[in-house]
Amino acid sequence: MQHVLQTGLSAGMSAVSGLHSNKPPKVDPSFDGLKAVLPDSFVPTAETKVTLRGKNGNVEAPYMSIGAWSWGDEATWHWSPEELPHVKEGWQVFRNAGINWIENAQAYGSGESERICKQLFQGLNRDEFVIQTKWYVVPDNTTNLFHPSRAPAKMLKESLERMGLDYVDIYLVHGHIHPGSIAQTAKGLAECVDSGMTKTAGVANYSEKDMIEMADELEKYGIPLATNQCEFSILRRHPEVHGLLQACKDRGIVFQSYSSLAQGRLTGKYNSHNEPPKTYRFSSYPMKDIEPTLAVLDEIAKKRSKSIAAVALNYNISKGVVPVVGMRSAAQARQNAQAFGWRLTREEIKQIDEVSFEGKSTVLWQQG
């Protein structure tokens, strides 16, 4: 699975790979980015919860989740088993900070990331963590291809076995490239909810139109669409500029951002003399084009005594976006947890908006 995902991203599933241009498209200066900003009085802490709506009860989760894509994934993230102790340390740091939500997928490490979660959950009560995973939608197996309504439940059952769990809190469709229709997929998600294998259902990489269609189909089973997860960061404001973010807010759908730090590009780790690995394909613009953006983030970070990553994450939070952020060490966990307990001013957000990128969508994957 992990190799299929990386091959697809390199071929054009990512909006900055394959046949797509890597020239960063700027946001139209006339676009008012302050419209999306939450009231100044809303200052999330680690205790602040976001509500993901469910049929038989809601899920209350922190205002940030821990992205587990790198765990066990060699094709994209060059994972080494020696990293596991560092991930365990980071998990403890995050939990101590009140961040106990892990975001996973069946494709990550071809299931190894979910197996690692089983180790992280050992000794914990089920109500001490929130776990989200995503259905591997690629039509490269007979179940997805010939049994589209049964596939989500079958593959979720396998996920639960890997994680040693009876249920997940949130189950997403990883992207709208599943061979079955949205109606067939909604039927499959409904089976997952009604069987008790997941509390809530959501989607990822869905356009506004398809998201609304999925919400309407799930409603036939009495299930609210809990969330839509798309790439969103200072380097890809496409969901905000094109109305998807506002559509989620209007419908009570939690908008999650993956690649919230543009796979490390918004942390200060990389520069024009130290480019990220080529397998880090989301928002993979040349670092020389990103350096003016990083200069603004660095200025704010120094003024605030925060990490550059914390400033970038706080930007997402300020726009009403719940960020997913990767973690491979305790140091990264501490750095990312700095995003809580304060808010960028509107003037600071405007400064960042002026050096942000719009990004693009793709038919193959990043439709939202």
- Within-domain flag for 17: yes
Contact between residue 216 and residue 223 where contact means Cβ atoms under 8 Å apart: no
Element (H, E) at 158: helix 151-163
- Within-domain flag for 367: no
What is the predicted pLDDT for the residue at 149? 86
pLDDT tens profile 349-367: 999 999 999 988 887 778 8
Domain count of the chain?
Answer: 1
What is the predicted pLDDT for the residue at 9? 47
Residues paired with residue 26 on neighbouring β-strands, in sequence order: 357
CATH of the domain at 83: 3.20.20.100
Entry pTM: 0.92
- CA 315/CA 32 separation, integer angstroms: 15
- Within-domain flag for 359: no
Vertex 226, ends 4 and 323: CA angle to 5°? Answer: 65
- Within-domain flag for 365: no
**CA dist 123 → 118, 128, 190, 196 (Å):** 10, 10, 31, 23
- Within-domain flag for 366: no
- CA 189/CA 185 separation, integer angstroms: 6
Element (H, E) at 123: none
* pLDDT in 10s for each residue of the chain, 368 residues: 656 544 444 444 555 554 445 677 889 999 999 999 999 999 999 899 999 999 999 999 999 999 999 999 998 888 999 999 999 999 999 999 999 999 999 999 989 999 999 999 999 999 999 999 999 887 777 777 667 889 899 999 999 999 999 999 999 999 898 888 999 999 999 999 999 999 999 999 999 999 999 999 999 999 999 999 999 999 999 999 999 999 999 999 999 999 999 888 999 888 888 887 666 555 678 889 999 999 999 999 999 999 999 999 999 999 999 999 999 999 999 999 999 999 999 999 999 999 999 988 887 778 88
What is the predicted pLDDT for the residue at 165? 99
Phi-psi region of 104 (alpha: psi -120 to 50; beta: other; left: phi over 0): beta
What is the predicted pLDDT for the residue at 268? 86
- CA 204/CA 81 separation, integer angstroms: 28
- Within-domain flag for 133: yes
pLDDT tens profile 44-99: 998 999 999 999 999 999 999 999 999 999 988 889 999 999 999 999 999 999 99
What is the predicted pLDDT for the residue at 7? 47
Q: Which domain holds residue 121?
A: 2-353
Structure tokens at 168: 């997940």
- Within-domain flag for 72: yes
- Within-domain flag for 364: no
